[in-house]
Amino acid sequence: QVQLVESGGGLVQPGGSLRLSCTASGSIIRISAMGWYRQAPGKERELVADVGSSGTPNYADAAKGRFTISRDNPRNTVYLQINSLKPEDTAVYYCKAFISTAWPTFEDYWGQGTQVTVSS
């Protein structure tokens, strides 16, 4: 049993910043990639950024420049720093992690999502 719990979302004015956190817990043997996705109203869920266990980040084109992903392996936690927020960043942000609970099998686990609303 694995749980991913996100936090850090909320209502923020344009130009503001947020830091999202996601912590994985449960019967975890190893975590491979961890990442953040978002889903705006009426749109499909899309990748924002992900990061491998070595810490090498990968960003969607729309996320380059204002988004920074990082992870704390001992804490099984991934972070997403978002600066200069824009109204078009409004979405539910989901955490995903590729986790092994029974070696060598890995599978994707998702968090419940955290709402980010950018509005004045």
Give the E-state strand segments of the chain in sequence order. 2-7, 10-12, 18-26, 30-39, 46-51, 57-59, 67-72, 77-82, 91-102, 105-110, 114-118
Structure token digits, residue 79: 């972070």
Give yes or no for residue 55 having a pLDDT over 90: no
| pLDDT, tens only, 63-74 | 999 999 999 999
Residue 39 pLDDT: 98
Give yes or no for residue 38 having a pLDDT over 90: yes
